[in-house]
């Protein structure tokens, strides 16, 4: 008999995201286990609870979802979750990581842009690019060969965001950090730009 589908939500925030829970339920998952305020040192036991209770063939019906509003905290949970798997014995489950919607939002924006223009070699600017969506978009666009300019109201924040991408960029040219605080700087930055991604928070 087919096992029920189980989604285990790990959220570092004080309250597990209601948005993520509604999406999970609307996706027809049979059982949703939600854990809030999850710390990195707690992840291993939660993962082991998931992978040691079913046989390898049935683990396809178990998955982890790591969300939360702080990408760095959520990435720490992701690293611990992956480390807790035992793939050599088939004891692993699928993991979806989408802290603050960073991956789905950025991927959707880049996918739509890529359908319209060939991004290779094109100048692209990401406005308010230091947040989770902006950084993910910068990474995806760089890997597609675009010349990415990542902006912030302060050059320090823009540079810090570029540095945080680090080794994820690989052999692709790293995004260029720029500061935009007024219309003059914005108009200058937009010269020759083929694509603008506005990644600022909604207001």
pLDDT at 159 over 80: yes
Q: Do 78 and 117 have their domain in common? A: no
Q: What is the pLDDT of residue 168?
A: 85
Assign 7 a pLDDT band (cuts: 50, 70, 90): very high
Structure tokens at 121: 């070699």
Residue 154 lies in a domain: yes
Judged against a pLDDT cut of 80, whether residue 126 lies above it is answered with yes
Q: Within a domain: residue 116? A: yes
Q: Give the long-range contacts of residues 163-168, CB within 8 A, separation 24 or more.
A: 164/135, 165/135, 165/138, 165/139, 168/139
Range of the domain at 111: 103-198
Q: What CATH number is associated with residue 125? A: 3.40.50.720
Residue 168 within a domain: yes
- Tell me: pLDDT of 203 over 80: no
Would you say residue 203 lies in a domain? Answer: no
Residues 111 and 184 placed together within one structural domain of the fold: yes
Q: Are residues 56 and 72 in the same domain?
A: yes
- pLDDT top residue among 69 and 191: 191
**CA pair distance 76, 68, nearest whole angstrom:** 11
Q: Check residue 170 and give its pLDDT.
A: 86
Structure tokens at 1: 């008999």
Q: For residues 39 and 169, which has the higher predicted lDDT (pLDDT)?
A: 39
pLDDT per position as a tens digit, 129-138:
998 899 999 9
Task: Give me the phi and psi of 14, to 5 degrees please.
Answer: -60, -35
Stretch 22-26: mean pLDDT = 96
- 3-state SS, one letter per residue, for 56-102: HHHHHHEEEEECCCCHHHHHHHHHHHHHHCEHHHCECCEEEECHHHH
- The count of structural domains within the chain is 2
């Amino acid at each position: 008999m087919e096992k029920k589908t189980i989604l285990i939500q790990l959220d570092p925030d004080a309250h597990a995201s209601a948005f993520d829970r509604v999406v999970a339920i609307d996706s027809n998952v049979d059982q949703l286990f939600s854990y809030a305020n999850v710390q990195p040192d707690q992840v291993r036991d939660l993962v082991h609870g998931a992978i040691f209770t079913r046989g390898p063939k049935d683990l396809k019906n178990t998955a982890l979802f790591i969300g939360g509003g702080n990408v760095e905290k959520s990435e720490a949970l992701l690293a611990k979750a992956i480390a807790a798997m035992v793939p050599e014995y088939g004891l692993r489950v699928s993991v979806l990581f989408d802290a603050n919607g960073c991956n789905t939002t950025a991927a959707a924006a880049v996918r739509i842009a890529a359908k319209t223009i060939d991004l290779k070699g094109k100048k692209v600017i990401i406005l308010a690019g230091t947040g989770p969506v902006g950084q993910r978009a910068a990474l995806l666009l760089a890997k597609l060969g675009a010349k990415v300019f990542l902006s912030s109201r302060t050059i320090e924040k823009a540079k810090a965001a570029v540095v945080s991408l680090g080794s994820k960029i690989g052999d692709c040219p790293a995004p260029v950090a720029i500061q935009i605080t007024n219309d003059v700087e914005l108009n200058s930055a937009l010269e020759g730009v083929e694509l603008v991604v506005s990644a600022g928070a909604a207001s």
